[in-house]
Structure 1
Amino acid sequence: MDYISTRDTTKTPHRFTDILLSGLAPDGGLYVPVAYPRITEEKLAEWRGVLAEGGYPALAAEVVKLFVNDIPPAKVEQLTAAAYRTPVFSTEEIVPVSELEDGIYLAHLSEGPTAAFKDMAMQLLGELFEFELARREETLNILGATSGDTGSSAEYAMRGRDNINVFMLTPAGRMTPFQQAQMFGLNEPNIFNIALDGVFDDCQDVVKEVNADAAFKSKHHIGAVNSINWARLLAQTIYYISSYLKITSPPAPGEQPQQVSFCVPTGNFGDICAGHIVKQMGLPVDKLIVATNENDVLHEFFSTGQYRPRSSEETQATSSPSMDISRASNFERFIFDVLERDAAQTKDLFGVQVKAGGFELDDDVMAHIRDHYGFLSGSSTHADRISTIRDTHANQSTLVDPHTADGVFVARGLKDQVDTPIVVLETALPVKFSETIIEATGQEPDVPERFAGIMDADRHVVDMPNDAQVVKEYIASKTGNATTTD
């Protein structure tokens, strides 16, 4: 399996392990497979047995093997077994699925070390990075941006690993106290937290600007763990497949496989982009429902065809802060597919028109997106989140975090338009958003034992202006700390 950039008209192929370490393509595009592998009915039947006998790590290995041809299959199995295990995850099932109410399910993606769905990808990335860096005898300085959960998931996955440093940009004052404590409380020699004067989109722009400096990127071995890194999306496809297998039964002879829909809280279009990928691979997915908060750029696109990224000043601070994003990086991968992989047009839209304010797709293309790709969307407000959290707690005995509440609210609103079961992808455990939970239910969320005392740790973070050059100077001053075998 080779990979190409969404902006490369020459379609120059790259190996998986090369794009694993590089993140963003040199032309500013995002890497995608040359073609998506196919999931046949026979493959699905085989995977049912794999999941039943070997659990989530065994299924993960089979999925990863479809996309990776430069890591030995036996090593892939070792890496997925190391990534998806207890006590790193609090349950051997890794991703349990439960029925919330008639027709709506929850896929529990927050059983990992930081209680966020980002752990599902980061734990595998940590294993992949460490293996490949050791094989090449190289170092990697990861530069990332987080609106709340990516940062802690990355840092917990990479801390203490050989040959890896993590530089994580956060929007100053925009995360919850628990999220800040998870990240800033880490005292590890290879972890560097940076609080940037701006919003998440500013952090993401700095990451892209640093990556665009080819000389700096090469000299300082800059890599990425944000969802611009293809391996993140690869890891996320696995739980779509496992969730599908858990709530469906094998079809009877002559019958079509049952279809399932997914509702995904999203701001950066990464989590739901993985759903798009598995649908294109042939997983029997009916609808892919985009759930946004008040920062509803994606909902506006799927409703009107207009993609209008907002400025930092227009990006609202909400009670589902991990979705306070107005420029969705992974959206380029989806549009690349919609445009039948026209790299020149994709480059014009995202390299030119987005910078000028956005773009609009015509009605025929939008109809194709709804009919062929199966996309629907909705948005919610703070009041919607509060009422949803209160209702699920009182009537379903289920406490959800604000982002998952966005998903449940939107799924309920669109349920009459969907003829298949809807799986809402959980985003995080409620403990990370206690202020909102208290407002909704009148009580503090339970604190899992593994997080006891987390609020008491000293904080390790550096404040910086919204300036890529300052960030580069800081990275350069610290990269001598990397453990290296060079």
Structure 2
Amino acid sequence: MLGRAFTDKDRLKQAIVQRENGNKMNYIGTRGFREPRTFAGALLDGLAPDGGLYVPETYPVPDFDLNAASAGDYGLLTEKLLTLFGVDVLGADAVQKAAARTRAAFLNSAGQTPLVQVEDNLWILELWHGPTLAFKDMAMQMIAPLTDAALAQRGEKLTLVTATSGDTGAAAVRAFAGSEHVRLVVFHPLGRVSPVQRLQMTTVEADNVLNIGVEGDFDDCQRMVKRLLGEEELKQYGLISSVNSINWGRLLGQVPYYLAAAAASGADHPEFVVPTGNFGDAFAGWVGRKIGGNVGHIHAAVNSNDALAQAINTGHYVRRPAVETASVSMDVQAPSNFERLIFEASGRQAEGTKGLFDNFNATGNAFIAPDLQDALNAQVTASSISEDETKATIAYAYKQWNRVICPHTAVAVAAALKRGKDQAIPQIALSTAHAAKFPAFVTSALGFAPEVPEAIQKLHGQKETIHPIRNDEFAAMEAVKAFQRRA
């Protein structure tokens, strides 16, 4: 078991450390890796050499007015944050290009922060104005040019492997298709993503993209990816990494919208209610608060796959088979980014973090000490929303606010409404995908189909390319090796 509650380090001490290091930003691993990597190294590694996840060696203190920047231009805010976290090792041009692309994916058609107030103390942040109509676009549009810049600096090629429950794969394919430096392999669970999500991945024709359908669930896909990242044999064809939210670069691309949304709401430290699968989005909000942003409490709303909520609420972390729900992108029972939260909440105890997750990976069980559980609850709370509640909330949102929301958004809104009954605090619920990506469930809740954007209409009838494999790590290895040789 892992204990000892986390106490925030004094911000002045952090600033002194930054100055002494010449403001150089480095990254370490959650399981004990202490040979600092620059952002470029962490980006291209994906996983840390210790098998853990990269985190900043120390969290930086902004040398600019963070609240003013949060209320200003989204592209400039993103540039400042990327520079703060050491992305400028890739050059100013790469930072500016990445910021411009994520800005284009974030703003609505009117060029504004897509924040909609629906009740006195409740806002919805629409994160689906990018090319694949999902929140993953912000980070993926940012990480693609940064990856190309890092590879160009080194003169290297890279195989990116990623597991997806739907939206990550679609956003990655759109962002990396046609890249000269990157070969992209996407693993998705066969029959367990929505038809639109599948089409967004499998209809893109690009020689550098391989779509693999796994006869299993998302956790099986994610386990395959982590195994592949450690395979030395694959590295003979160049570097290998991941663009799942285990990659710090992916997660960093999601921090700016927490700051911009809080500023746009005008509220003092609003609570964010985040529909949660792999916990990367929620942890990005934690980072925004950690560096001094106007970000209040983080509440993770999960669906019936409630391993995260059970761990935070009871101290018992148990891996069970994922069950299919309408909010398919959240059908996760082993959220990778929970490790980052454990590491931070324990006071950065790498040995204890390693022990807990080694035990969880080996047995599917881990017990969290009461003092650590208290520390977790001080950082993040969590609740589970049923399928019936999800459907009822979609109906409620349309009846009360004339808004059509997706199942993932409904999970967050349902959790926010429950919490709002007990506390009069400002809340921002994240809306992570367009409702038209999940037409069957939305139609069953409303009695009519959601309006279908042109980008989705164009997908139907196009040729699909899927490479199906059994739920077997050897089969995954062979498929990736064959693709590397061919590409």
Cα distance in 2 for residues equivalent to 1:74 and 1:185: 31
Aligned partner (choices 353, 365, 369) of residue 372 of structure 2: 365
Query: Does the CA-based 8 Å contact 2:178-2:206 persist in structure 1?
Result: yes
Mapping for residues 95-110 of structure 1, pairs under 5 Å: 95-110=113-128
In the TM superposition, 1:16-415 aligns within 5 A as 16-39=39-62, 43-48=65-70, 51-52=71-72, 55-68=73-86, 69-85=88-104, 91=109, 93=111, 95-217=113-235, 219-248=237-266, 258-310=268-320, 314-371=321-378, 373=379, 375-415=380-420
Q: CA deviation at 1:467?
A: 1.8
Provide the rounded CA distance (Å) in 2 between the counterparts of 1:481 and 1:56. Answer: 40
Unaligned 5+ runs, structure 2 = 1-24
Tell me how far apart the structure 1 counterparts of residues 43 and 238 of structure 2 sit (CA, whole Å): 16
Q: Distance in 2 between matches of 1:201 and 1:96?
A: 32
Structure 2 counterpart of 1:335, which letter? I
1:427 and 2:446 matched: no
| SS in structure 2 of the partner of residue 132 of structure 1 | helix
Aligned-residue offset at 1:92: 5.9
- 1:435-446 equivalences under 5 Å are 435-446=440-451
Q: For the aligned residues, what is the CA RMSD? A: 1.8
CA distance in 1, matches of 2:329, 2:130: 17
Q: CA deviation at 1:220?
A: 4.1
Amino acid at match of 1:383: D
Matched residue SS, 2:296: strand
Any idea what SS the aligned residue of 2:188 has?
strand
Question: What is the aligned partner in structure 2 of residue 255 from structure 1?
Answer: none
Contact kept, 8 Å, 1:16 with 1:70, in 2: the verdict is yes
Q: Find the aligned partners of 2:94 and 2:326 in 1 and give their Cα distance.
A: 42
Q: State the shift of 1:108 in Å.
A: 1.0
Superposition TM-score, scaled by structure 2 size: 0.91
What's the offset of the Cα at 1:4? 0.3
Secondary structure in 1 matching 2:363: coil
Residue type of the alignment partner of 2:328: P
Supply the distance in 2 between the matched residues of 1:89 and 1:451 (Cα, whole angstroms).
19
Give a deviation string over 1:79-123, Cα, whole Å, max 9, x none. Answer: 31244337x976363641111222111111100010010101000
The verdict on how the C-alpha distance between 1:211 and 1:397 changes in structure 2, with shifts beyond 3 A counting, is same
Q: Is the 8 A contact 1:39 1:283 kept in 2?
A: no
Question: How many residues of Structure 1 are paired with residues of Structure 2 in the alignment?
Answer: 462
| Aligned 8 A contact 1:220 1:479 in 2 | no
1:445 to 1:411, Cα distance in 2 relative to 1, 3 A:
same
> Which one is further off, 157-166 or 224-233?
157-166
Residues 271 and 427 in structure 2, CA contact (< 8 A), matched pair in contact too: yes
What CA distance in whole angstroms lies between the structure 1 residues aligned with 2:324 and 2:307?
14
Q: Distance in 1 between matches of 2:67 and 2:467?
A: 51
Higher mean alpha-carbon deviation, 283-292 vs 411-420, is at 411-420
What displacement does 1:38 show?
2.6
**Aligned partner of residue 132 in structure 2, secondary structure:** coil
Query: What is the CA-CA distance between 1:395 and the residue it aligns to?
Result: 1.4
Task: Say if 2:114 and 2:126, in contact at 8 Å, map to a contact too.
Answer: yes
Stretches of structure 1 that go unaligned for 5 or more consecutive residues are 250-257
CA distance in 1, matches of 2:289, 2:365: 27
CA distance in 2, matches of 1:198, 1:168: 14
Cα deviation 1:12-37 (Å, max 9, x = unaligned): 21111011111012221101000111
- CA deviations on 1:391-435 (whole Å, 9 max, x unpaired) are 111210111100000000001111144443111111100000000
Aligned-residue sequence identity (percent) comes to 34
**Secondary structure in 2 aligned to 1:70?**
helix
The answer to whether the Cα contact below 8 Å between 1:84 and 1:94 also exists between their aligned partners in 2 is no
